[in-house]
Amino acid sequence: MAALASAQGPMSATELLAKLSEGKPDSAIGIATIYRSLKLGVEEGRLVAVELESGAVRYEPADLEHHHHFLCVECSRAFDLKGCVSDLEDLLPAGFEMTSHEVLLHGKCQDCRRAG
């Protein structure tokens, strides 16, 4: 939970495992444990699953304010963005009502841009 709360954005189970195993080569944490904890977190309402790409589920704390994500096309990491887009309602055809929305930005993160 703490690892997810301090993350720059939602993380997948494999990313979380890599982060938790950092500097602990013989750590006993397995991917099954991660999946179990994540599932439990969602059931308890502490985590939410976000699916930014089909088939790739990431997790983030449930208590974050409304926000959107940036997905790096190079390293596939997801980052939280602050705030929202205004005037989305202006895009609606006449007579339509918006009940929720998703905004996903794609591009290269700072690390990947530095790497060239």
For Zn ion, the binding residues (CB under 5 A) are: 72, 74-75, 84, 109, 112
The CA-based dihedral angle spanning residues 49, 52, 57, 63, taken in that order and rounded to the nearest 10 degrees: -20
Least distance in Å: CB of 21 to Zn ion?
A: 20
18 versus 84: smaller Cβ distance to Zn ion: 84
Least distance in Å: CB of 19 to Zn ion?
A: 15
Least distance in Å: CB of 26 to Zn ion?
A: 29
- Composition of the chain by helix, strand, coil, percent to 5: 30, 25, 45
**CB contact at 8 A, 116 and 84:** no
Least distance in Å: CB of 49 to Zn ion?
A: 18
10 versus 41: smaller Cβ distance to Zn ion: 10
Closest CA to 104 of 63, 55, 66, 67: 67
CA–CA separation, 69 and 77 (whole Å): 10
49 versus 79: smaller Cβ distance to Zn ion: 79
**CB contact at 8 A, 46 and 61:** yes
34 versus 72: smaller Cβ distance to Zn ion: 72
